[in-house]
Structure 1
Amino acid sequence: MTTIPDHTLAAVVRAFGEPIGIEEVPVPPTVEAGGLLVEVVACSLCGTDVHCWEGSLALDIRLPLILGHEMVGRIVAIGEGANVDSVGQDLRIGDRVIWTHSFCGRCEMCTRKRPAMCLKRTAYGHVSMQEWPYLMGGFARHSYVLPGSGRVRVPDAIPDALASMASCALRSVVNAVEQAGRVGPEHTVVVQGAGPLGILATGLFAQAGAGRVVTVGAPAARLQLATEFGADEVISLEDTPDPADRLARVREATDGLGADLVAEFSGHPAAFAEGVEMAGLGARYLVVGQLGSGTTPIAPGTITKKNLTVIGSFSGDVSHYHKALTVLERYADRLPFDRLISGQYPLEQVNDVISRMQAFQEIKPVLLPAATS
């Protein structure tokens, strides 16, 4: 029988924008029915983690908190009735899992529409650590999986760092590509953004059979990686700073018609208006990266006159976590997923890692809380 520790180590945010301290945090002594206690073996960093630490998210964030929402954990304790994951696989002590935010399962969004839009959603990395069960973030040696959180066992062949990435970045892209609908050899897809989501989307659209994929972003190293994931052409924001010139490049690549699908993963509000211009007549515009409170001017008549379909895509439900793991297995020999992992660090280096992300020196860094000395 595994002994549950009284306390665990966690990186705790007590003031926005201030250095994060490593503290001892209480561990729930028992696990409720449907819940799990896990040892966090890897937690990759998301741009949202940085924005949350900065205090710039348009969300109700209550301090102090433990950041981190894309993690993989090894099961330490299993609550009653929690010995099977959300897709019917048996769970045992020592298995690795990824898990969703917690959904109520009873509201209209959960029962009739999209569980990821749950009206009573509890989000990991955004909940005060002063509230039970305390361990609601991945920047900690242990985490608590709530009964309302979907969970999926990680196949043995998938490394910890990639499994961690699957629990947010890749599941969001899988959901977005699914919502975008079919792409085929007759379609040109423009991907706005060369961060982890944009690069992953480049790869999935290429694997889906798009005739041409154009990725717009910076810096050069990320655009090179986008090429390795299947981009047929890249447009550098650094080399082509004028939006009019970028639009001309897209029109040149599409015989003047514009893209059949534009997928926004950049997070910059100004990218929305630019993406609308890049889209051709009757095109689809997929918006994924816009989670902040920024605004941008746009002529809404452009959407009407082009007969555009605008699709918003947010997060993902447990099916997308499972599909993300399947993508990692199925495309392991086609897409260089490991190239996205820019570094692996002990929990104590969390402040350095966040600084490196702010300076665009990391694509997808990973913290290894369980390896903390």
Structure 2
Amino acid sequence: MKSATLPEYTRAAVVRGFGEPLKLEEVAVPQTVEAGGLLVEIVACSLCGTDVHCWEGTLAIPVELPLILGHEMVGRIIAIGDGADVDSTGQPLRIGDRILWTHAVCGHCVMCARKRPTLCRNKIPYGQGTMNQWPHLLGGLAQHSYVLPGSGRVRVPDAIPDDLASMASCALRSVVNAVEQAGRIGPEHTVVVQGAGPLGILATGLFAQAGAGRVITVGAPDARLEIASEFGAHEVVSLAEHPDPDDRLAMIRDATGGLGADLVAEFSGHPAAFAEGVEMAGPDARYLVVGQLGAGTTAVAPGTITKKNLTVIGSFSGDLSHYRTALTILERLADRLPFDRLISGRYPLGDVDSVMTRMQSFQEIKPVLLPQEVTS
């Protein structure tokens, strides 16, 4: 094992009861790193809507408490286990390098064998896995985290700042995966993006850059729709100005000659958006569903899917290739898409409870916690 001096304890935001105020606790730092593993110092951890669901206890994926929140992070290596001195793309890794890493997968279950590691039956997720078992540090809202041997990892290029690299590790890589799964988009296509949160805005940008003839972003509040326009939305539909779903549907049909969109992409996370998106889709269209990770339900007429000959595509998370592509996008599209506009604030780790509450009430788009700055 190669390492810098390792601290005995680290500070972490621990969830011990769903919805309870978040407090920092001292957690023991592993003093040894197994073969294939890494120990990192977290330099930035941005918050995601999934973190809010996880903290509230409303996540559709089962979680076991207590846990350290945070799965959208970038870390600087402070210890390298045997055989872990290259990343998953073959780049050498050294003490001090920054990395992104995937959830840990087993590599031998039926989903891994089908090359669907995001659906691994034995996956150990960061920010959602219990801290009751060694190595305990499996969340990004901490000063340190452990990278398991089953986690893919990729070195972060020097030109990419910490906060954007952090965003790439979940929000952007999930959008990259979704856009890839959606299939070809060209100038003949109208795309409707449901949701003006970070994922919806990033998707707006990538669909526009892919050459969609028209991108319409539906969401709220209006300040976020302004950012969506900066990312390339040709039109926006405000939920505040048009609270009636029938009005929004009429606007989409008017914009598409009465047909509906060629692709509807759901990034809102609101269950009711699913039924609305099915209606917004035109005949022989595609409906891409990404944002539905909460436990809510909604009513939908399944015959609509049949009559329209819709293709419904579920897109979950992203694998190592999408992390790599996300970093490449940050480098190559930096002069075309205003990624910095998504970062709504940078805060010390000690502010995590107030920032999570602001995230819950949609006062933040993409706040970034800086674990090495514990207090303001």
- Whether these two folds match at TM > 0.5 is yes
Match of 2:281 among 279, 282, 286: 279
Alignment match, 1:337: 339
Percentage identity across paired residues of the two chains: 77
Q: AA paired with 1:108?
A: V
Match of 1:325 among 324, 327, 333: 327
How far is 1:179 from its partner?
Answer: 0.2
Kindly indicate whether residue 76 of structure 2 is the aligned counterpart of residue 60 of structure 1: no
Tell whether the 8 Å contact from 1:10 to 1:141 is kept in structure 2 after alignment. Answer: yes
Matches within 5 A, 1:210-289: 210-289=212-291
Alignment match, 1:94: 96
Alignment match, 1:41: 43
Query: Can you give the 5+ residue segments of structure 2 that lack an aligned partner in the other structure?
Result: none
Alignment match, 1:109: 111
Q: AA paired with 1:96?
A: R
Alignment match, 1:161: 163
Distance 1:221 1:164 in 2: 23
Tell whether the 8 Å contact from 1:41 to 1:371 is kept in structure 2 after alignment. Answer: no
Query: Can you give the 5+ residue segments of structure 1 that lack an aligned partner in the other structure?
Result: none
Matches within 5 A, 1:128-143: 128-143=130-145
Distance 1:277 1:112 in 2: 33
Kindly indicate whether residue 76 of structure 2 is the aligned counterpart of residue 74 of structure 1: yes
Q: AA paired with 1:235?
A: V
Tell whether the 8 Å contact from 2:61 to 2:293 is kept in structure 1 after alignment. Answer: no
Q: Using structure 2 for the length normalisation, give the TM-score.
A: 0.98
Distance 2:113 2:362 in 1: 40
How far is 1:5 from its partner?
Answer: 1.3
Q: AA paired with 1:206?
A: A
Distance 2:319 2:360 in 1: 29
How far is 1:295 from its partner?
Answer: 1.3
How far is 1:60 from its partner?
Answer: 2.2
Distance 2:53 2:295 in 1: 12
Matched position secondary structure for 2:217: strand
Kindly indicate whether residue 14 of structure 2 is the aligned counterpart of residue 30 of structure 1: no
How far is 1:58 from its partner?
Answer: 2.3
How far is 1:360 from its partner?
Answer: 1.1
Distance 1:59 1:189 in 2: 29
Kindly indicate whether residue 90 of structure 2 is the aligned counterpart of residue 85 of structure 1: no
CA RMSD of aligned residues (A): 0.8
Matched position secondary structure for 2:103: strand
How far is 1:310 from its partner?
Answer: 0.5
Tell whether the 8 Å contact from 2:196 to 2:220 is kept in structure 1 after alignment. Answer: yes
Alignment match, 1:21: 23
How far is 1:296 from its partner?
Answer: 1.0
Kindly indicate whether residue 365 of structure 2 is the aligned counterpart of residue 363 of structure 1: yes
Q: AA paired with 2:21?
A: P
Matched position secondary structure for 2:276: helix
Matches within 5 A, 1:178-193: 178-193=180-195
Distance 2:269 2:22 in 1: 25
Q: Using structure 1 for the length normalisation, give the TM-score.
A: 0.99
Distance 1:161 1:182 in 2: 30
Alignment match, 2:53: 51
For each residue in 1:96-128, what CA deviation from the matched residue of structure 2 results, as whole angstroms up to 9, or x when unmatched?
Answer: 000000000111111214111101011101112
For each residue in 1:181-226, what CA deviation from the matched residue of structure 2 results, as whole angstroms up to 9, or x when unmatched?
Answer: 0100000000000000000000000000000000000000000000
Tell whether the 8 Å contact from 2:194 to 2:264 is kept in structure 1 after alignment. Answer: yes
How far is 1:59 from its partner?
Answer: 2.6
Distance 2:56 2:123 in 1: 22
Tell whether the 8 Å contact from 1:170 to 1:324 is kept in structure 2 after alignment. Answer: yes
Q: AA paired with 1:277?
A: E
Distance 2:61 2:300 in 1: 24
Matched position secondary structure for 2:372: helix
Give the aligned length.
Answer: 373
136-145 vs 3-12, greater mean Cα deviation: 3-12
